[in-house]
Amino acid sequence: MKRVVIIGAGLGGLQCGYILSKNGMQVVVLEHDRIVGGCLQSFRRADTLFDTGFHYIGGLGEGQSLHGLFRYFGLLDLPWHKLDEDCFDEVVIGNRSFAFANGHERFVETLSRAFPHEREGLRRYAEMLRQVGEHLPDTFLPAGEVSRQGDSYFSESLFARSAYDFLCDTIHDPLLRKVLSGTSLKMELDRESLPLYVFAQINNSYIQSAWRIEGGGQQIVDRLTEQIRLNGGEVRTNATVTSVTERDGRVIGVRVNKDEFIEADCVIGAQHPYALMQLLADCPSMRKVYRRRITGLQNSFGMFTANIRLKHGMMPYENRNIYVHKADADLWHVQGDEAESVLISYYCNGDAIDLLTPLRWETVARWAMTPQGRRGQDYVDYKQQKTEECLHLVEQRLPQLRGAIDKVYTSTPLSYQHYTLCHHGTAFGVKKDYRSPLTTVLSPRTPLENLYLTGQNLNLHGVLGVSMTSVLTCAELLGMDTLAEQLDVKHWNK
């Protein structure tokens, strides 16, 4: 029986563990933290449950982007809560508010009321997104079948096209372009680099349908962990991989907590590839050009998060997400020094709310060498300042929020790097660049023939992107024919 060691028990590592253990491999998932989950971890402060990085997902309805994948992973019966179909996302720019509705036709019709002169542009915009979503199953078809169906919308062509150019060519009204960019905290918008595929696939999934989960994202990782163990695999916590050992161009095992050695027939790195490179220092067969490429990749920005416990009954629950932007905010060039955009994310039970705003690593790097929890009063003061910036911005939409606050807990990219090993606390992983897709869109394969990558840093981030990538990684070991049949890909859109 082939033994596969997976480094990292975030969503990608656990999904790979699920797939491979389901297919009879001996799986060992190693997690450095005391709990599994990575950015899907839930945590408690006093009696209030918060999520680390999970807020909502898209495309979970039957025949939609994520449904077939979550059916395969056994996650459809979790307590999913559908957001308001007439306004799952609300975009506030200055003193104006705009609703995003589910369903491509309803999406166009709703925004056309505010922009009747752009109805045709909106129709073309929504149709492009819909087509990208419909071609998602092509990702999991064997290469011969994809070629017989013609050009796949997952092909390199969409990774080599500019998202910003597409938006400008399709929509002429500058305000509408800003509105369509207004849910930008799902990804880092960058007019100089963002590929059209990333922009279209992620936005399309939410237009299909949008969902929260009651009781925290930890339920997703707990379900996957349980199934791996039922399949005979191991998921170990407090197990820090300190080095990877290779011989003659093949990985032979990993060292855990500096002492224990675990032999492996192959290894999957489910953490940030920069972190994996640090574990390969003693692997002479790992080419220097590959190391330089990986360690030189740029990362997307991180997030400042204010997890807010609310006073009971003081803040009505809204079944939507709210994105609030300053009127003059440039959504395609986020500096992150001052809060110009904030995502308001509710919890289903109504006892908490999260505020998130972009924050670049460079802004907090001066505290990077200080221990977690002991970074000094100036760091505490800085987080209080960021909280105040967020509250000041969202008060125009939620004037009652400040008076409803019971307690605020905060985190920065430093926190994310500490707990999840996301390099520099990146929220969306490695930045993809349509000008150099061959460099920034990563393959699961590495120069070592039995060392593979998985996770949000490869091609697409978020729950949808990671779920797709976990299948692509496992196809390197099992073959796409096998997985396409198990996933029943041919019937996803029917």
* R_g (Cα) of the chain, nearest Å: 22
Backbone angles phi, psi at 243, to 5 degrees: -165, 155
Which pair of structure tokens corresponds to residue 286?
A: 């790992």
Q: What are phi and psi of 439, to 5 degrees?
A: -95, -40
As beta bridge partners, residue 261 has 255
Question: Count of CB atoms within 10 A of residue 324's CB?
Answer: 27
pTM equals 0.95
| pLDDT computed for residue 156 by the predictor | 62
pLDDT at 372: 87
How buried is residue 397: exposed, middle or buried, by Cβ count under 10 Å (0-12/13-18/19+)?
Answer: middle
Residue 77's contacts (CB-CB under 8 Å, 6 or more residues apart) are none
Q: Does residue 393 contact residue 342 with C-beta atoms inside 8 Å?
A: yes
Domains within the chain, CATH numbers bracketed: 3-41+216-298+437-491 (3.50.50.60), 58-66+78-215+299-424 (3.90.660)
The predicted pLDDT at position 147 comes to 44
Contact 78, 213 (CB under 8 A): yes
- Where does residue 86 rank: exposed (0-12), middle (13-18), buried (19+ CB within 10 A)? middle
Q: With contact defined as beta carbons under 8 Å apart, do 38 and 420 qualify?
A: yes
In a 10 Å sphere around its CB, with 0-12 CB exposed, 13-18 middle and 19+ buried, how is residue 105 labelled? exposed
Residue of 351, 386, 383 lying closest to 367 (CA atoms): 383
The confidence score (pLDDT) of residue 337 equals 78
How far apart are the C-alpha atoms of 43 and 218, rounded to whole Å? 9
pLDDT of residue 149: 44
pLDDT digits (tens, 9 = 90+) for 158-187: 999 999 999 999 999 999 999 999 998 899
pLDDT of residue 157: 85
Question: Which tens digits make up the pLDDT trace of 381-402?
Answer: 999 999 999 999 999 999 999 9
Tell me how far apart the alpha carbons of residues 192 and 71 are, in angstroms, rounded to a whole number: 37
Give the model's pLDDT for residue 436: 93
Residues 6+ apart with CB under 8 A from 448: 246, 249, 250, 251, 283, 285, 286
Answer whether 192's CB lies under 8 Å from 12's CB: no
pLDDT averaged over 10-residue windows placed end to end, the chain, 494 residues = 93 98 97 93 91 94 94 97 98 96 98 98 97 90 55 66 97 98 93 96 96 96 97 97 93 94 97 93 87 93 96 93 96 87 94 96 94 92 96 95 96 92 92 93 94 94 95 96 91 75
DSSP-derived pairing of the beta strands 3-7 and 266-269: parallel
Nearest-CA neighbor of 227 among 394, 73, 51, 11? 73
- Asked if residues 256 and 262 have their Cβ atoms less than 8 Å apart, the reply is yes
pLDDT of residue 494: 63
d(CA 429, CA 41): 17
Could you tell me where the DSSP H helices lie in 233-283?
Answer: 273-279
